[in-house]
Amino acid sequence: MKHFILVLGVLLWLALPARAQDAFTAALPGLAGGFGDIATSVEQLGTAGDPRALPLLRALQEGKLQKAPDGRILLPQGADLADAATGQPADAAGAETVRLNNRVRQALRGALGRLQLVSPDAAERAAAADAIFRSRSADDVKPLQTAIARESDAGVRARMELALAAAQLVAPDESAKRDAIARLGAAGTVEARALLLEARTANPGLITAIDVSIASIERTLSLRQAAETLFQGLSLGSVLLLAALGLAVTFGVMGVINMAHGEFVMLGAYATFMVQEACRGIPWLAPWSLPLSVPAAFLIAAAAGAALERGLIRHIYGRPLETLLMTFGVGMILQQAVRLAFGAQNREVSSPPWMQGTLMLPGGISVTQNRLWIIVFGIAVLLLVVAAIRFTRFGLEMRAVVQNRRIAATMGIRTGRVDALTFAFGSGIAGMAGVALSQIDNVSPNLGTGYIIDSFMVVVFGGVGSLAGTLVGALTLGVVNKVLEPYAGAVLAKVFVLVAIMLFIQRRPRGLFALKGRAAES
């Protein structure tokens, strides 16, 4: 009898993993089927508890899993393929990649989440917790509780607890559910509110508790939304500032109505593209291509600006109508020249990793990285312009020529050279704006046309000739635009801003920061 029990025990012990393996092999053929079959198989593999499931599912996620014409599933092993069921090497003839769709990706995220909850890598555990939060089911409660008990990283544990709350919300335990509702309410995120709203219809008994939590989330969200709108406004403002700064020099200081300004911005964006292509072959240089393109864009646009000033504009100083028409024509020539040289298609300027994705600020405010960097870049360029005008000899000569050309000339300043340098400087700044715009807009020959009106608007609104006016004008327009947008829509918000500026200019023709004194009279 004792022997019998022992034998039975051994048999059972042997049978357990065998059953797990059966579940694994039973799930495999589904992977060769349609998307629905693949999703079912993935779910089975996620709960089969077989160690071979994790590498298999990872290979599927990376698009490396193959299916043979006879329906066997092949897993890459080094350079070769192996039969996933037997582990034996298999021949790759006629094998096709197992394809994914969104339904499979969803199932895959949940299954991988369950399997990676015990991963030694903290980042993977955190990703697993987030995945379970999204795919949650009542079965996740137990494994999450064990994982939380073991977890040493506080950040990962917080995410696991949130996932646990999400799972408890769909589990039958009523008191755990109440607890989960309170914790989700405290989390204060859009995702938590989505779960609560979903649970609201399924749990009529808990509606009051759920509503309390939702109301608390909504309070946090409205504050956060205000902060995010402000950030979006500042970001749009910094883009406007960058586009307008060059014009603040060429139009604001020199008084040249340069309709080709947008095309200098476009040249800067293409310079970024060219630097990126040049750096592509050199691995250690490639990550630095974006910072490197800042001086390159400055020089290319400045050279184009100097050529335009020396070749054309200097002959028609003081004749605004001719300047306007001629620079407009130059702009069109530049556009078509770039279209002939690079083609009408958009050029891809990729973003470095540090400019991708979203940054979470304390308080749950999320800001996109690329926008954040553009704000920083805008401020840096503004400081550079201010410093160049205030503290360099070139800046001093420039101010002297603007204030009184004749006296400056009698003091030995070569005014023609200063004109050329000033115009080149303004154009170069436009080129630097192009580097930033290549990160958020199309790099196409039309890039500049979208910004020329906005740039003039900012400079005129802020006050011609005043850098502080340009800064305040750009930020005001950006924030007002973004605050209006949710109520009026993107099209009407723009119209409102234009009308407001027209009214404002009627009352204060010299803009926000009007120059005073003799310079303003001339």
Partner 1 sequence: MTASTPALTRRSALAGLGAALALPAIRPAFGQGAPIKVGVLHSLSGTMAISETALRDTVLMMVDWVNSKGGVMGRKVEAVVVDPASNWPLFAEKARELLQVHKVDVTFGCWTSVSRKSVLPVFEELNGMLFYPVQYEGEEESKNIFYTGAAPNQQAIPAVEYLMSKDGGEAKRIALLGTDYVYPRTTNRILRGFLKSKGIGDADIMEEYTPFGHSDWQGIVARVKRFAGEGKKTAIVSTINGDANVPFYRELGNQGIKAEDIPCVAFSVGEEELAGIDTKPLVGHLAAWNYFMSVPGAPNTEFKQLWQSYIKNPKRVTNDPMEATYTGFRMWTQAVEKAKSTKVDDVRAAMIGQKLMAPCGYEEEMLPNHHLSKPVLIGEVQGDGQFNIVWKTPNAVRAENWSPFIPENANRRR
Give residues in contact with partner 1 (CB under 8 A): 35-36, 99-103, 105-106, 109, 134, 190-191, 193-198, 200, 221, 225, 228-229, 232, 235-236, 239, 335-336, 339-341, 343-348, 350-351, 356-358, 366, 368-371, 440-446, 450, 482, 485-486, 489-491, 494
| Least distance (Å) between residue 233 CB and partner 1 | 9
Interatomic CA distance for residues 155 and 472, integer angstroms: 40
For partner 1, the closer of residues 36 and 509 by Cβ is 36
Pairing of strands 73-77, 66-67: antiparallel
Tell the smallest beta-carbon distance from residue 290 to partner 1 (Å). 14
Return the structure tokens found at 512.
């926000």
Q: Which is nearer to partner 1, 99 or 508 (CB)?
A: 99
Do 122 and 156 touch, CB atoms closer than 8 A?
yes
List all residues 6 or more positions away from 327 whose beta carbon is below 8 Å from its beta carbon: 256, 257, 258, 259, 260, 261, 308, 313
Q: How far is the CB of 324 from partner 1 (least distance, A)?
A: 20
Nearer to partner 1, 249 or 338 (CB): 338
Name every residue whose Cβ is closer than 8 Å to that of residue 270 and which is 6 or more positions away in sequence.
Answer: 338, 342, 347, 434, 443
CA separation for the pair 183, 162 (Å, rounded): 7
In the complex, least distance from residue 63 CB atom to partner 1, rounded to whole angstroms: 8
Q: Sheet with 89-90: list strands edge to edge.
A: 89-90, 80-83, 73-77, 66-67, 96-97
Q: How many CB atoms lie within 10 A of CB 138?
A: 13
Give dist(CA 326, CA 180) in Å, integer: 68
d(CA 488, CA 361): 28
Q: How far is the CB of 466 from partner 1 (least distance, A)?
A: 25
Taking the least distance from each CB to partner 1, the nearer of 323 and 370 is: 370
Question: Residue 65 and residue 14: Cα distance in Å, rounded?
Answer: 30
A 10 A CB-CB count for 352 gives 17
In the complex, the smallest distance separating the C-beta of residue 247 from partner 1, rounded to whole angstroms, is 18
Q: Which residues of 497-519 are buried (b: 16+ CB within 10 A; e: fewer)?
A: beeebeeeeeeeebbbbebeeee
Residue 495: count other Cβ atoms within 10 Å of its Cβ.
Answer: 12
State in angstroms the smallest separation of the CB of 357 from partner 1: 6
CB of 154 to partner 1, least distance (A): 23
Q: What is the DSSP letter of 251?
A: I
Minimum Å gap between C-beta 194 and partner 1 is 4
Residues in the chain: 522
Question: Measured from the CB atom, is 43 or 485 closer to partner 1?
Answer: 485
The answer to whether 260 touches 510, Cβ cutoff 8 Å, is no
The nearer residue to partner 1, 21 or 368, going by C-beta atoms, is 368
Minimum separation from the CB atom of position 353 to partner 1 (A): 11
Give the tokens for residue 514. Answer: 């009007």
Residue 136 or 482 having the CB closest to partner 1 = 482
Shorter beta-carbon distance to partner 1: residue 358 or 403: 358
Instruction: Return the percent helix, strand and coil in the chain, to nearest 5.
Output: 75, 5, 20
Cβ at position 99, least distance to partner 1 in Å: 6
Between residues 238 and 422, which has the closer beta carbon with respect to partner 1? 238
Which residue, 330 or 424, has its beta carbon nearer to partner 1?
330
> Which two structure tokens, joined as six digits, stand for 277?
């292509």
**Nearer to partner 1 (CB atom), residue 5 or residue 491:** 491
